[in-house]
Structures are given as C-alpha cells and as structure tokens.
Amino acid sequence: MHCVDLNCDMGEGFGVYRTSLDSELMKYITSANIACGFHAGDAATIRHTVKLALAHGVAIGAHPGLPDLAGFGRRAMDITPEEAYELTVYQLGAVYAFAKSEGGAVAHVKPHGALYNMAAKSRPLADAIAEAVYKVEPSLLLFGLAGSELIRAGDAIGLQTISEVFADRSYESDGSLTPRGTEGAIIADPARAAEQAIKMIRDGEVRTRQQSSFILKADSVCVHGDTPGALAHAIRLRAELEAEGIAVKKAGR
C-alpha cells in the first residue's frame, strides 16, 4: 500500500499581514512548514501557527529561508556554507522554542525557496544545512527535493531524509523545479496537480516540461500555501489520494 505525507508552507505573513488560509489548509495536511522570520513570519505568527498545527494534530516543521523579506526568500543570494549553517540553526531555534513552549515539538526541517533550490544543487550548502539540523537534534527529519544534493547530504550525516515532490510545480529534465516566472512553472489546475502527484507516488516518476520522464521517490507532497487556489488544491489532492487508496499520514518513522 502506498502512503505519503502532505505538507504545506505556512505562517508566511508578518505583522498585520496574515496568511488567512492556514487555518483551513491545516484540515487537509499532515505536516506544516512554519516560516521562521527571515523570508516571512515573526514571533506572533510563529506562535499562532504552532498552536494551529497542534490543534489539528499536524507535524510541526521549521522552514528556514534566506534573509530577504522583500523577495520572500525566492531570490538567490551568494552565501557561504558557514552562513547557511548559522541561518539554519538560528531559524530552527525560533520554531523549536515556540513548539516546546506550547507543549509540542519540531518534527522536521525544510528549507524555503531559493535556499531550498540552492541546496538541491550545491553539495557544500547541502552539507552545511544537514550539519546544522543534525547538531541541533539528530532525530529531526530533513525534507529536500527528491534526488537532490540535500537528500544525499542528509543521508550521509545520518539524518532521516524525506524526499519531497510538488503537486503544483512543473519539473525540468534534470529533476529540478521549473524556475518561477517561466511559462508553465505553476500548475494552477487542481485536477492536473493531483494527477501529477498520484503518478509520482504510484509510479515513481514525473513527466518533465521537456516531455521526458524523471525517476524520483515521493515521501511527501507539497502544496504551496501561496499558489492561486491553494485550498482547492489541498482539498482535491487529499480526496484524490484517498480515492486511489494512498494513505495520507505524517512523514517519518
């Protein structure tokens, strides 16, 4: 029987700007990746989102990003592995403390945006992030793009890694995500997104933008909270997975 985790990036507001869909999306997912304050989020938002996750029985994850509020962490920055290590530890610490203070615990770490994509291709950055997670708590799960350097780095240091796939994004022939801004990068149709996710889970492959097939492992499926129609995506995906007999449950041991 196939099973999969369903995750979503959350808590990506700050100050008076709230991500209003979080409370609804929580009903359909099993893991929440909570922004840690660098690309989005702040103390109040982290705490609020942690409490939402606990109320819905959803796994809490830290979602560290590059220090770029204006660019939402989606613009690449020239950082060193040491800087990647430090910003990961710093941001993980914020969510870790709020989870503990509310009677919960952090289950996983998933880098955000440009940091995620940079670590997918750069082994030095991937090693630094994996080391940061391992040194804070070696039992934490490390989420990374399926087939990426981040997954290999996590495996090498002894972390349990979770190979992540995307329902609402198209893929390139090398297994990377199509860059945002490229035509077809975002899959807006919930039915098509669900179809792609099910194929990745059941068949272990995805059809790329170049019309080739890329073999991958699918432990967790991401639906972006800021994708147009995100709630419709989550509802359709959860229903389609269950209709196909694919169990939806939290990632990990």
Task: Give the start-to-end residue ranges of the domains of the chain.
Answer: 3-248
Q: How far is CA 120 from the centre of its chain?
A: 13
| Collapsed DSSP state (helix, strand, coil) of residue 99 | helix
Exposed, middle or buried, 33 (CB in 10 Å: 0-12/13-18/19+)?
buried
The rounded percent of the chain whose pLDDT value lies above 90 is: 90
The rounded percent of the chain whose pLDDT value lies above 70 is: 99
pLDDT for 229: 84
Task: Note the pLDDT tens digit of each residue in 51-62.
Answer: 999 999 999 999
pLDDT for 15: 81
Task: Note the pLDDT tens digit of each residue in 108-143.
Answer: 999 999 999 999 999 999 999 999 999 999 999 999
pLDDT for 19: 67
Q: Is the pLDDT of residue 82 over 80?
A: yes
Q: Is the pLDDT of residue 9 over 70?
A: yes
**Helix %, strand %, coil % for the chain, to 5?**
40, 20, 40
Q: Is the pLDDT of residue 64 over 70?
A: yes
Q: Is the pLDDT of residue 20 over 80?
A: no
pLDDT for 224: 84
At residue 88 the predicted structure's pLDDT band, cuts being 50, 70 and 90, is: very high
H or E element that contains 164: strand 160-166
Buried-state track 187-223, b at ≥16 Cβ within 10 A, e below 16:
beebeebbbbbbbbbeeeebebeeeeebebebbbbbb
Task: Note the pLDDT tens digit of each residue in 135-155.
Answer: 999 999 999 999 999 999 999
| Collapsed DSSP state (helix, strand, coil) of residue 8 | strand
Q: Determine the CATH number of domain 3-248.
A: 3.20.20.370
Cα angle 52, 54, 60; round to 5: 95
d(CA 62, CA 91): 7
